[in-house]
Structure 1
Amino acid sequence: MSYEDGPSMFQDQLAEKVRPFIDLIDDMRSIGIDKELPLPTIAVVGDQSSGKSSVLETLSGVALPRGTGIVTRCPLLLKLCNDRSVRWKAVISYGGKFSSDFDEPSEVVRHVEQAQNTLAGKGVGICEDLITLQITSSTVCDLSLIDLPGITRVAVKGQPDDIGAQINNLITKYIKNKRTIILVVVPCNVDIATTEALKMAQEVDPEGTRTLAILTKPDLIDPGAEKNVLEIVHNRVIVLNMGYVIVKCRGQKQIDENMSIARAIEDELEFFQNHEHFRSLLRQEKATTKCLATKLSNALVKQIKKYLPQMSEKIKEQLADVKIALSKIECGPPLEPAEKRKYLIQVITEFNEQITQLSTGDIIVEENLFELMRKAFIDWMECLKYAKSNYNDEVQQVVNEYDKEHRGSELPGFSNYRAFQHVVQKLVAKLKDPAMATLEKIREMVQKQFDQLSRESFKNYPYLQKFSTMNIERIQEDQSKIVKERIKEQFEMEMQVYTQDEIFNKYNLEEGETTDNSEHDTRSKYPGLLKSYYEIVVQRLADQVPMLIRYFILKQSAKIVCSEMLDLLHRDNTDDILQEDLEIGHYRAKLQAQADRLLLANDKVSSL
């Protein structure tokens, strides 16, 4: 179709009043802001063979794909831009990547079909991905609308059995948005109440506040049915607040005869001017495609103005939320090798500082580690006290057994020192297992908090997290073996039954006992002597076991972990060490893209 064939009837549109608002929504959709919030738009809905394509052709001034069955297989955003300085040009884009511009109207069909085949595959399948066709010309109106697949009820050869449900779901996705103007295309020669398109519109817009109906094919109605059509157009049958417009576009016969769209527009005007029943609709601005274009442009701009304040507020709210989400995610490693190495040093240094602070009680991870350890050591002390409280029975039993087994001809009161030593050794030996249990309890606490710190510090870096947790486990195991040996040594030393005389006498005096055998039966002094010595043992073990555990399991472990982490800095595989978790990277990229969209949208709304 040549430039001169374009619909010159649209040249009088007041683009300067309409275009900025329509451009705003088109620009916001082009940057993907419709992913964040619903945008005002016009969605074209119609049953198959309702004349939907003919209406869009007349509005755009170009031929669109035609045929039987499903012709529109993807949503098509038709952006019409009036520009008196441009002869004719078009840009088609889809898939988020592909974009192509051309300057011949006859190429539209080929480009649209190619886009549909790319997105929906060759055949009769559909796809929800949007195709954008922008047409700039001096002969089009300023308008943007989305053409949706025609409603079908029965699948034909090559179509999935649920094709009808797929199309209905796609249409519903668009028209359920309360900011969408629903443009329903209905032929005049069918019962309007039975059309599927109007039924779908009524389901999401029961009061008809945002539905506009186009009546097509007025030349095909039966004689005598004109009054019924007029009743519909005058909003007396099914009430729609936005009303009705009746149009006459090219039929198949005119298309076969190569009637141009420009000639079809002239033919449409002549039809209504000369029609006995419909000519009055011209004066009422309820007939012709020109009237429809003006009505749609004004309705869309009105809808945009209505929701613009809400959209602006929503964009600001979402932008603030996204910024908060981004602030909680690390920015990730830099790309430059030198900077990446500095970043690795920083990450490891911060982790080491936290491990050190954790070992000194300067930071808390989930729970206070020192408080947990103190409770475990209190339990150890209670175990010692419990053992001490039962010492009388133990002492008497051991003394009796010793006298029975080892007393010879000596008189009472001359018992052997071995009896005293044997009692002490038996009592102390029972404390070894509780000491080991305390060690395991503390090790579990420390390793759990070290691991938690590793997960938090290296949550974005799987290699660092795996390396650190494996080292923590190995170091804890090694240190635990050292502590076990030290505790065993401690108990072996306790088997020697030793303390300074001065210390022992001090405890005896506190218990009211004396080591002078001449005044009392030594055997009668056993309980007091044992109690005195056991107090010394308890005091040694009460402190020594926790000190060993704290030193090796916490302090030394932290020191070794830090050293092992620093060894990573001597390796050359910095890229592998700082390989970021894919999910984190994708999530950050998603948030950043969302933030960019919202920032751009906010600027666009603010500049209007």
Structure 2
Amino acid sequence: MIPSAQLKGQGVNGTLYCHYEQKVRPYIDLIDSLRSLGVDQDLPLPSIAVIGDQSSGKSSVLEALSGVSLPRGSGIVTRCPLELKMKKIRAGEPWKGKLKYRDNEMDLNEPHSVEQEIVKAQNIMAGTGSSISSELISLKIESSEVPDLTLIDLPGIARVAVGNQPKDIGERIKGLIQTFIKKQETINLVVVPSNVDIATTEALKMAKEFDPTGQRTLGILTKPDLIDKGNEENIVDIVRNLVIELKKGYMIVKCRGQQDIKKKLSLEEAIQNERVFFEQHSYFSPLLDDMKATIPLLAEKLTNELVEHISVSAPLCLHVCLTDILKHSMQWYSLCKLQSYYDIISSIIKGEEKSQDQESKIFNQVREKFENWKRLEVGDLDMKNSIKKNRGKELPGFINYSTFEKFMKEHIEKAEAPSIQLLFAIVLCLIEDILKKESHEAEKMLYSQFNMERIIFSQDVIYSKVLSTLKSKPRLPQDADVSVMKDHLNTYFEIASDRLANQIPLIILYHTVNQFGTELQKQILQLIQGDKNVNELLSENKDVAEKRNRLSKRLERLSEAQEQLNKFSV
């Protein structure tokens, strides 16, 4: 990844910036676009969740990264999850902001308007008191002074309710935070003040609960200027990951304090002052060389962490997406099929029977199947070995009946399973409850038909005629015994397959169309005579319709997500 310091040194209009845009931006854009589709409610998307106890300096860190003022003060300031999407643009291009929540969307032209608009949005979604909401506010910022990064800011953890806060506010906030940090795709950014015992902070405790090994947790220490004198060395040890180990380690930053805001210190000036603070502090200056201090280096690390996280998670997202599409497609299909049953019954009541169409479809399916079954394929070597093994006292040129019977029965048995499968394929397209009895009868008749076919039989006149026709066709030279056996096998199977091709459609049609229709009409007549409000009984359940619509929208989102993930992987 390209360090931000190098980026500024080369100028954002240079080739280094273009390389940065090509390598970094696509990762961030992918996840932002998936989240904008609403796919985050279906798929676990990679993200960075910012958590911290109240007054931990969380808002100050986000302000420093984004370059805009966010709601701050005492008590619960962040009352809704805030998705902060930052996009670096070329120097000289105008600052842009866009705020979205619920069905509202507004363009922001000035950074100073962000804070009041977020407060308005929070009041609409969480009320004007001190309650919270799980609904997301999305803030997109385009600026040459921000990193390519997306963060989700969550409410500060409250230990006890104060003032007009709900009594269970602490548990509600923890519950909201848990929905984000428990996901394996989430990087937990834990903000902790340097002037408190890090081991006692609720934010770090929660992160450790859902990420015990610290694999996806990054610690941020704030307010280094408030450290008690003599405790600096302990803070340095924490930042060097020597106290409570986290795989992603720690960073330390110094943001604007309340006095700085009162003096109207700009964020740019605050960044400069932060650099001076760490350079001049004897304990903290080595952390600059280790790239573990200051907001610019934090921005760089977060961008690298997120891009790496996305690159690892994208294939998994695609796998989950495809799995979900398959699962929900089956659910959606079953609900659509249920609706089609209502349509079928209604059409029968109105006299709009479609048995002719059904018959035509079934005949076509069976005809295609048996065209393939007529082609007998037996290996010459297998046949030759079988003839040799079962050869009796017959003279050359005479057909060996035991071999003929063996191959014929095997081939007929191969046709049995597809016939039963064909029956149940048709059954699934009709109403299962009413069709069970008839399909069972049809199944018994099919098995009987194939059991009869295992008794080798044909009228002599028919057999001789087909055999004569086959012998008259040109053929390749081959072993005489094999040639004779093939002629007889092909002759008999053509006769048997013609029998099956006629009989099986009749069995299936008789039970799945004729008998089924008769039984269905009986049931409907009983229904009409037994209850006057037939339309009400035939109307689709409201919950089923809503579920089908939800699944339809979900499949649409997932299909779009799949398309984007496929393009990204290519």
Which TM-score band applies after superposition, normalised by the shorter structure? Answer: 0.5 to 0.7
**What is the aligned partner in structure 2 of residue 92 from structure 1?**
99
**What is the aligned partner in structure 2 of residue 117 from structure 1?**
123
- Is the CA contact (8 Å cut-off) linking 1:76 and 1:133 kept in structure 2? yes
Aligned length: 408
Residues 457-536 of structure 1 aligned to structure 2 (within 5 Å): 470-473=527-530
- 2:160 aligned to which of 154, 159, 170: 154
- 2:113 aligned to which of 86, 104, 107: 107
Q: Does residue 586 of structure 1 match 2:546?
A: yes
**What is the aligned partner in structure 2 of residue 601 from structure 1?**
561
Please give the secondary structure, in 2, of the residue aligned with 1:266: helix
Q: Does residue 141 of structure 1 match 2:152?
A: no
Letter in 2 for 1:260: S
* 1:364 Cα deviation after fit: 7.5
Please give the secondary structure, in 2, of the residue aligned with 1:368: helix
**What is the aligned partner in structure 1 of residue 263 from structure 2?**
257
Distance 1:469 1:295 in 2: 73
Q: 1:368 to 1:110 in 2, by over 3 A?
A: same
Q: Does residue 327 of structure 1 match 2:333?
A: yes
Residues 123-522 of structure 1 aligned to structure 2 (within 5 Å): 123-330=129-336, 348-349=350-351, 365=434, 367-368=436-437, 450=520, 470-473=527-530
* 1:329 Cα deviation after fit: 3.3
Distance 1:80 1:347 in 2: 61
- Is the CA contact (8 Å cut-off) linking 1:74 and 1:128 kept in structure 2? yes
Please give the secondary structure, in 1, of the residue aligned with 2:284: coil
Distance 1:261 1:115 in 2: 24
Question: Segments of 4+ in structure 1 off by > 3 A?
Answer: 7-13, 329-334, 341-354, 369-372, 448-454, 576-581
- Is the CA contact (8 Å cut-off) linking 1:74 and 1:130 kept in structure 2? yes
Distance 1:223 1:300 in 2: 35
Q: 1:363 to 1:57 in 2, by over 3 A?
A: closer
Q: 1:592 to 1:237 in 2, by over 3 A?
A: same
Q: 1:578 to 1:450 in 2, by over 3 A?
A: closer
Q: 1:370 to 1:279 in 2, by over 3 A?
A: closer
Distance 1:202 1:176 in 2: 10
Distance 2:440 2:234 in 1: 87
CA deviations on 1:555-602 (whole Å, 9 max, x unpaired) are xxxxxxxxx99xx9xxxxxxx999754323312211110111011101
- Is the CA contact (8 Å cut-off) linking 1:216 and 1:249 kept in structure 2? yes
Distance 2:33 2:203 in 1: 29
Please give the secondary structure, in 1, of the residue aligned with 2:107: strand
**What is the aligned partner in structure 1 of residue 25 from structure 2?**
19
* 1:350 Cα deviation after fit: 5.8
Distance 1:24 1:175 in 2: 21
TM-score (norm 2): 0.65
Q: 1:21 to 1:296 in 2, by over 3 A?
A: same
* 1:198 Cα deviation after fit: 0.5
- 1:37 aligned to which of 43, 51, 61: 43
5+ residue gaps, structure 2, are: 1-6, 360-426, 442-515
Distance 1:369 1:201 in 2: 60
Q: CA RMSD in A?
A: 3.7
Letter in 2 for 1:57: E
- Is the CA contact (8 Å cut-off) linking 2:83 and 2:152 kept in structure 1? yes
- Is the CA contact (8 Å cut-off) linking 1:8 and 1:140 kept in structure 2? no
* 1:368 Cα deviation after fit: 2.5
Distance 1:453 1:135 in 2: 64
* 1:353 Cα deviation after fit: 5.4
**What is the aligned partner in structure 1 of residue 83 from structure 2?**
77
Distance 1:162 1:577 in 2: 46
**What is the aligned partner in structure 1 of residue 387 from structure 2?**
none
- Is the CA contact (8 Å cut-off) linking 1:78 and 1:133 kept in structure 2? yes
Please give the secondary structure, in 2, of the residue aligned with 1:328: helix
| Percent identity between the two aligned chains | 44
- Is the CA contact (8 Å cut-off) linking 1:63 and 1:108 kept in structure 2? yes
Please give the secondary structure, in 2, of the residue aligned with 1:169: helix
Please give the secondary structure, in 2, of the residue aligned with 1:330: helix
- Is the CA contact (8 Å cut-off) linking 2:348 and 2:521 kept in structure 1? no
Q: 1:350 to 1:37 in 2, by over 3 A?
A: farther
- Is the CA contact (8 Å cut-off) linking 1:22 and 1:143 kept in structure 2? yes
Please give the secondary structure, in 1, of the residue aligned with 2:554: helix
5+ residue gaps, structure 1, are: 1-6, 335-340, 373-445, 455-467, 476-563, 569-575
Q: 1:214 to 1:453 in 2, by over 3 A?
A: farther
* 1:322 Cα deviation after fit: 2.2
- Is the CA contact (8 Å cut-off) linking 1:176 and 1:204 kept in structure 2? yes
Q: 1:332 to 1:293 in 2, by over 3 A?
A: same
Q: 1:343 to 1:253 in 2, by over 3 A?
A: farther
Letter in 2 for 1:595: L
Distance 2:45 2:244 in 1: 27
* 1:321 Cα deviation after fit: 2.0
**What is the aligned partner in structure 2 of residue 521 from structure 1?**
none
Letter in 2 for 1:52: K
Please give the secondary structure, in 1, of the residue aligned with 2:336: coil
Distance 1:191 1:347 in 2: 76
Distance 1:90 1:331 in 2: 46
